Amino acid sequence: MSGPDVAPAPPLTFVIFGATGDLTRRLLIPTLINMSRSGLVGDDLHILGIGIEPGGVDMLLERLDSFLATSGDMQEPERQEAWQSLRKRIAYISGDFTQNAVYDEISKYLSQAPSANAAFYLAVPPRFFGDVAEKLSANGLMNETAGAFRRIAIEKPFGHDLASARELNARLLSHANENQIYRIDHFLGKETVQNIMTTRFANMMIEALWNNNYIDHVQITAAELVDVGTRGKFYDSTGALRDMVPNHLFQLLAMVAMEPPNNFDAESIRNEKGKLLKALRIYSPEDAAKNGVRGAYTAGPLAGKDLPAYTGTADVAPDSSTETFVALKLLVDTWRWAGVPFYLRTGKALKARDTEIVITFRQVPFAQFPRPASRPQLPPNRLIIQVQPDEGLDMEISIKAPGLVLKTVPISLDFRYADRFDIGKQTGYESLFYELFVGDQTLFQRADGIEAGWAAVQPFLDLWAEGGKPDPYAPGSMGPACADDLIQRDGRAWHQPDEKPEGRQE
């Protein structure tokens, strides 16, 4: 997405609750700088920061300047110019956002703003989402007038289980309409994720094979090299399942497995994603025990340093039963996907940073090619969608090796976004913010989809709440042995981050 391709967003005030926080410095402001630089927003974008820290706008600007000075990207004259323009349109209100006085100040500011349009971004702890929405509504700040919009943007987690997700959605919807609520999952801002639909629905050779007649199974991996670090308090109350599966991984699953929408408008796409997530099989406690495993990393070396065990991390209970790794086998009960297992895994302190979707096709029914005794079958075709890092696509096929002997070898037809397009130095939020500003909810989650995702993982949450400990795994591995057992009992194996066909050239 770039300036020449789309019209700039309409004039508005972007109100950031939590303006002095880390998220604002690291992602929100750099995103707005990128958007300003590329023409996605104009000089009619104004930013109003809300924070509990005392002081005025000079305090906020000093903090932002200090952080941005450490960024190598800001050495580029175009980015520096965009920031200098943007910072002139930043204001700040100091106060407690649980009290009405702050909202009185916001009302005064917006009444004098050049445009009545406003988007409220909640960069605050999730427990305050409902409180802020209620205060905005009670103070008339969600009231839309002719030609002017009011929108709320919140980022996951959307609840911590099915009951809390339903409660949060009910509370939000009692103070705003669904078309005013933008639930952000930053995975949906990645170019590769957005490209999944195009790859499927714009290519007959792919979509024609996209069913249980040709696909053996699907793997979705979100591996993280980093450990829990300083986030022990948050993570110990959350864990890998809640943190990643019903949001990030299920959004990838939905994009891969949804039916073709009637239109590519927001509601048509979200309808199909919602139907897919509602088709995930809800396991009994017995089935959940068979189809889900979890782990926690032990002490050991990782990336050149000695890492303490998860239970030795600051702010983590020494007897914690919270998982830092989870692997699930899920089933989608539709005609297209009947019998096709979806294997999901995610964890921290793993071998590599790698988010990928691996579509493994069925074996050919008969192939009369000479094969060594050690490998009697041809390797299956695989389509690998690399989400991060090194975004791209790989199609693995078999060909004849050069020579007089008929010998098959696997090769990879690969495409990397960076080889063809300039996608560097983006935060991943640019498309999300642009669509928030223009009012397109395609990349945002809807209440029913969120609740369907929590419903599918609730059996695992209930099972693990009854007791037991996660299985141990070494830092720098790809998780505990039980994860390998989960997939190997079906005669399959996990795709490894560094696994490449014999014929792939680097």
* Active-site annotation, residues: 248
Strand bridging mode 392-400 / 408-416: antiparallel
DSSP state letters, 108-131 = HHHHHSS-S-EEEEE-S-GGGHHH
Tell whether residue 13 is among the known ligand binding residues.
no
DSSP state letters, 268-303 = HHHHHHHHHHHTB----HHHHHHHEEEEEE-SEEET
Q: How far apart are CA 248 and CA 277, in angstroms?
A: 13
DSSP state letters, 377-427 = SPPPPEEEEEEESS-EEEEEEEEEPSSSS--EEEEEEEEEHHHHS--TT--
Q: How far apart are CA 281 and CA 421, in angstroms?
A: 39
Tell whether residue 64 is among the known ligand binding residues.
no
Q: How far apart are CA 461 and CA 240, in angstroms?
A: 11
Q: Give the alpha-carbon dihedral of 435, 440, 442, 446, to 10 degrees.
A: 110
Q: How far apart are CA 276 and CA 261, in angstroms?
A: 12
| Residues 371/377, Cβ–Cβ less than 8 Å | yes
Tell whether residue 96 is among the known ligand binding residues.
yes
Tell whether residue 160 is among the known ligand binding residues.
no
Tell whether residue 348 is among the known ligand binding residues.
yes
Tell whether residue 20 is among the known ligand binding residues.
yes
| Residues 106/15, Cβ–Cβ less than 8 Å | yes
Tell whether residue 25 is among the known ligand binding residues.
yes
Tell whether residue 290 is among the known ligand binding residues.
no
Q: How far apart are CA 457 and CA 240, in angstroms?
A: 12
Tell whether residue 91 is among the known ligand binding residues.
no
Please count the residues of the chain: 506
CB atoms within 10 A of CB 34: 20
Tell whether residue 433 is among the known ligand binding residues.
no
Coil/strand/helix, residue 360 = strand
Distances in whole angstroms, Cα of residue 11 to Cα of each of 14, 129, 269, 282, 419: 10, 25, 27, 45, 35
Tell whether residue 18 is among the known ligand binding residues.
yes
Short-list 71, 481, 29, CA closest to 294: 481
CB atoms within 10 A of CB 265: 13
Tell whether residue 207 is among the known ligand binding residues.
no
Tell whether residue 186 is among the known ligand binding residues.
yes
HSE-CB at 216 with a 13 A cutoff on CA atoms is: 17
Longest alpha-carbon distance in the chain: 83
Phi then psi for residue 387, to 5 deg, are -85, -45
Helix axes 57-68, 77-87, angle to 10 degrees: 170
Tell whether residue 97 is among the known ligand binding residues.
yes
| Residues 94/86, Cβ–Cβ less than 8 Å | no
Residues at the binding site are 18-25, 96-97, 156, 186, 190, 224, 243, 348
Q: Which residues are annotated as a binding site for substrate?
A: 186, 190, 224, 243, 348
Q: Which residues are annotated as a binding site for NADP(+)?
A: 18-25, 96-97, 156
